[in-house]
Structure 1
Amino acid sequence: MSLAILSVAILLLVGVVLRQSLRPLRVLFIPGSVVAGFVGLTAVTLLGRLGGEVVAAKTSELNETLAGWPGPLIAVVFAAMMLQQSGGSPRPHDDSTARRVGRQGLMVWIIVLGETMVGLWATWLLIQPLYDVPNSFGMLIETGFAGGHGTAAAMGQVFASEQVGLEAGLDLGLLMATCGLVYGVVSGIFWINVASRLGWLRDESTQSASASVSQQPKPIGYQTTSPDAIDPLLLQIVWIALAVGAGMLMQAVVLGLAGQIDVVMGAGAASDAVGADAELSKRMSASNVMDFPLFIYTMFGGWLVRRVLRQLGQTHRIDSMTIQRLSSTAMEILVVAAITSLKLSAVAALIGPFSILFVCGAIWTAICLMVISRWVLPREYWFPLALINYGMSTGTTATGFVLLRVVDPELKTGAASDYALAAPLSAPFIGGGILTIALPLVLLERVSIVWPATVIAAAVLVLVGVGRHLGRSD
């Protein structure tokens, strides 16, 4: 463990130095943690192959240790996510606010649900005839593109579960997230140039900012209680720890009850079954159905802790900014550990179907940016808002705002405000939300891929139709 901690600390420092020293990394806005992860992956791979037996053994031990970090860290991230207080909008509301926000929320559903649709159809028609992959393989586009590295780490546990059986899901999801991050920035700049030549940008929005914005350091660990009682930063760690502990307790109780249900329902009577009957019995058991990853329970743990504090009138004890910083810290470490411990052999074995999904996802997000967004989003600033969605759907929301600053450097349009207001309409459900996690566990591996692919495609078409109807009323 000490070697792992020291290694991650060194890798993070190396990643930050390289990110600040190499212009291409800065231009593409590649986070230092991602750079650190790939430096670690390269070092682990070379040392494992070229080092002696002792070095190879230590490298393998380090790799196994880091591979166990993403699970607990993503549990912390999800617990902190539910503890934080949602922010408000910097823009005043008017009569059209609800309509604009509704259309933006609808557009996010079209994009992200469409990524699942495209992934399932590509898996059904192009991949499964050639490769033996589960139906949930099609979720990799949404997992990596819309979800990013955090969702990829979380979904890695879902993919590896007995219900799905895709052991390489974590590695493929992280690779999809990394490729999407780079692709989103590069292709986004390309589409901005295309839009400029088509006359879709206002003159004032294409001008660069004349002066750089000074960044003031923000304090962390605001005093939500007297420092004589407890350090303010430690108090925020306590809230996260309580949320994680509550989640672990929930998981233990649910699995215990599921085991009792199996005993009462006579699940053990099927132990003599063999082959398909044995597999069916195992999958239908309550213990298997309710065996969700820990982060799902810690998410509810965070909600429970905040709910209790609200009932006690003590929500002011939670400093959302500090909670967010602690969550980001866990996420940075998670990214380094997850990428460093990537199993390249697992990725290489499925690079063909992975490439098919990546190309399909790239085509879909481009269609959403250049075509569907014009139909659905507010006409006066549809392209700046579409750029935020494009960044979100190919990497991270931060990527979207990077692209927005190219066409709207002073944020004069209402794009940023509308995006923030509409986030609660989609974030809890898709792009790493409840539906993203539930689909593989509850549905995709229990029915033929034909049905979810068809139903989701129909839903996307309906949403596009509704959005176009609303857009015509401008």
Structure 2
Amino acid sequence: MIPTDAIDSGILNSLLFYIMVMGLLLVVAVFIRIKLKVFKKYFIPASLIAGVLGIIFGPFGIGIFSEEMVSAWGALAGILISIVFAPMLLGVKKSENKGKSKLMIRHLIFSYTASLLQIGVPLLAASLLILPFFDVPEIFATIIEVGWAGGHGTAAGMFEVYDALGWDEGGSLAVTTATIGIVFGIVSGIIMINIAVKKGYSAVIKDQKDISTEDTEDIIPVDKQTANSVETVNPDMIESTAFHIGLIGIAIILGWFMQQVLNIFVTGIPLFPLAMIGGLIVNAVIMRTKYSITVDKKTLNRIQGVALDFLILGAVASIQIPVVVEFALPLIILTVVTVGLMMWYFYYLGPRFFPKEWFENAIVHYGAYSGVTAIGLMLLRTADPKMETEAGQGFALRAPLYSPFLGGGLLTAIIPLLVLNSSGVIIGLSALAIVAILLLISHSLGLVKLFGSRENFN
């Protein structure tokens, strides 16, 4: 029997208080977004606003929040990331979309291309422009794919990886790049949609007056409110949400066991991508039984969403401002390189990947790999309000074959390890070589039109 004093009640009380303060910040951020329309116009989430409030009132700002509190928030973010990733492949049923294989493959290769470019180009740019002049580790450039394609969740999860590799500043810088990416993705994406309508790139919106960035309401009226999950088990037995949390817990436990086995061969692999694979295993088992009807994807999404909101708040609020200042110049250089890379990816590769409705198909990826998936879908909704194109469908179909590996998946987590075990140049060139092979094979199969006229491209 565990003695009652085995866990210091003072620690638990402090943690509870810290979480309650996070809740307070989220509520304050909600009303700030409601009152200041600029945040709604540019789709800045309340969790990000709350994180910035945490910085302002934290030890590097006004100093109301103690360093201990903010550090606890950062540690909590590192735990919550497993709860965010574990349900990603849970509740996924066999796709009912038939005859969409070519569309799915195009979106899949376009996704891999984005992440591999965000790995390869920054690593080579760092080797040429940053490492010779600045005192930064060779894994410095890995924060780009972690923060941009991975987002705040992945960046928070990488704290333990960078710490294990001896670079304590890596986590804060990764979260900083994620913040830069999400703001840049939103602002530039809206500008690009306006340009697309003006130049005739858009397949749906033909007049700039039809572009609406405020078609959703922050406070949903009573007559428009709908249930965001369903009860799948009798509440006399167990609350449905608790049952789904249990499934997520099993996924995380499976991920933990995989982590222990992998630690025999290589250390430093974080738990969150393995928790996602654990979720895939749980899903594969339960979907083959009559109990598959007990799994509600919307309930899983709600749990995931709660964890993500608290995660973003904690990750942003715990950014070490002195570290960001120290690495400001190399970070700016790497950001400028990444901005140029994403523009080339969108405007050059986009039309060559998608023979029709290229803008809508490409903008969802641009938003997702600058910020997060939600930003990509938001930009798609702005460019295609009624989802008339196949962009959303293709983007969704590619997810199960992309998310476990890149953009926050297993390969994202081990890239820093690979860089330390070889070199940034080797890993960077390898990533770009894989991109080249993917593009050439796709071109030869008629999936991508890299050279010549795009006529007869289908």
TM-score by length of 2: 0.86
Write the mapping of 1:298-377 to structure 2, written as runs, cut at 5 A.
Answer: 298-310=275-287, 312-377=289-354
Distance 2:105 2:332 in 1: 34
Q: How many residues align?
A: 428
Displacement, 1:244?
2.7
Deviations 1:298-346 (A, max 9, x none): 3343334334434554222222211111011111111111111111111
> Within 5 Å, which residues of 2 pair with 1:47-126?
59-85=66-92, 88=95, 93-94=98-99, 97-126=100-129
Q: What letter matches 2:90 in structure 1?
A: L
Distance (whole Å) between structure 1 residues aligned to residue 371 and residue 89 of structure 2: 22
Amino acid paired to 2:157: A
Q: Per the alignment, do residues 434 and 375 of structure 1 end up closer, same or farther by CA in structure 2, a change over 3 Å counting? A: same
Which residue of the partner structure matches residue 235 of structure 2?
227
**AA of the residue aligned to 1:237:** I
Q: 1:265 matched to which residue of 2?
A: none
Amino acid at match of 2:235: P
Cα distance change of structure 1 residues 448 and 309 upon mapping to structure 2, 3 Å threshold: same
Equivalent-residue separation in structure 1 for 2:398 and 2:426 (angstroms):
30
Partner residue of 1:137? 140
C-alpha contact (below 8 Å) 1:66/1:338 kept by paired residues? yes
- Evaluate the alpha carbon distance shift between residue 371 and residue 402 of structure 1 in structure 2; reply closer, same or farther with a 3 A threshold: same
The answer (yes or no) to whether the contact 1:248–1:297 under 8 Å persists in 2 is yes
Shift, 1:209, TM fit: 7.5
Task: Decide whether aligned partners of structure 1 residues 296 and 411 sit closer, same or farther in structure 2, where only a CA change above 3 A counts.
Answer: closer
Could you tell me which residue of structure 2 aligns to residue 446 of structure 1? Answer: 421
- Give the counterpart letter for 2:339 in structure 1: A
Conservation of the 8 A alpha-carbon contact between 1:221 and 1:232? no
CA distance in 1: counterparts of 2:420 and 2:93, whole angstroms: 35
The equivalent of 1:153 in structure 2 is 156
Q: Say if 1:399 and 1:250 are closer, same or farther in 2 by CA, change over 3 A.
A: closer
Q: Which residue of 2 aligns with 1:241?
A: 249
Instruction: Report how far residue 381 of structure 1 moved.
Output: 0.4
Q: Distance in 2 between matches of 1:446 and 1:66?
A: 32
Structure 2 Cα separation of the partners of residues 188 and 25 of structure 1: 15
Query: Which one-letter code corresponds to 1:295 in the other structure?
Result: F
State, as a whole percentage, how many aligned pairs show the same letter: 32
1:105 Cα deviation after fit: 1.5
Describe the shift of the 1:18–1:115 C-alpha distance in structure 2 as closer, same or farther (beyond 3 A): same
Structure 1 segments unaligned to the other structure (5+ residues): 50-54, 259-285
Check conservation: 2:143, 2:173, Cα contact below 8 A.
Answer: yes
Asked whether the equivalents of residues 392 and 399 of structure 1 are also in contact (C-alpha less than 8 Å), the reply is: yes
Structure 1 equivalent of residue 360 of structure 2? 384
**Hey, what's the Cα distance between the residues in 2 that align with 1:186 and 1:101?**
28
Tell me the CA shift for residue 208 of structure 1: 2.3
Question: Which is worse superposed, 306-315 or 178-187?
Answer: 306-315
Aligned-pair CA distance for 1:11: 0.5
What residue is the counterpart of 2:11 in the other structure? none
Structure 2 stretches lacking a partner, 5+ long: 1-14
Distance 1:203 1:103, change over 3 A: closer
SS of match in other structure, 1:69: helix
- The Cα shift of 1:428 comes to 1.9
What is the distance in 2 between the residues matched to 1:23 and 1:313?
Answer: 48
Which residue identity lines up with residue 411 of structure 2 in the other structure?
L
**Cα deviation 1:109-136 (Å, max 9, x = unaligned):** 2222111111111111111111233332
Q: 1:195 touches 1:201 (CA, 8 Å); kept in 2?
A: yes
Larger % of helix: which? 1
| TM-score (norm: length of structure 1) | 0.83
Q: Offset of 1:24 from its aligned partner? A: 1.3
Equivalent pair of 1:375/1:468 in contact (CA under 8 Å): no
Q: Distance in 2 between matches of 1:446 and 1:130?
A: 22
Deviates more, 1:299-308 or 1:121-130: 299-308
The amino acid of 1:387's aligned partner reads: I
Secondary structure in 2 aligned to 1:314?
helix
Question: Given that residues 254 and 278 in structure 2 are in contact (C-alpha distance below 8 angstroms), is that contact kept between their aligned partners in structure 1?
Answer: yes
Structure 1 residue 205, shift from structure 2 partner: 4.9
* Stretches of 4+ aligned residues off by more than 6 angstroms: none
Aligned to 2:433: 458
Query: Aligned pair in 2 of structure 1 residues 253, 430: CA closer, same or farther (>3 Å)?
Result: closer
Cα distance change on mapping 1:309 and 1:349 into 2, 3 Å: same
| Offset, 1:168 | 1.4
Deviation at 1:10, TM superposition (A): 0.8
Tell me the residue number matched to 1:290. Answer: 267
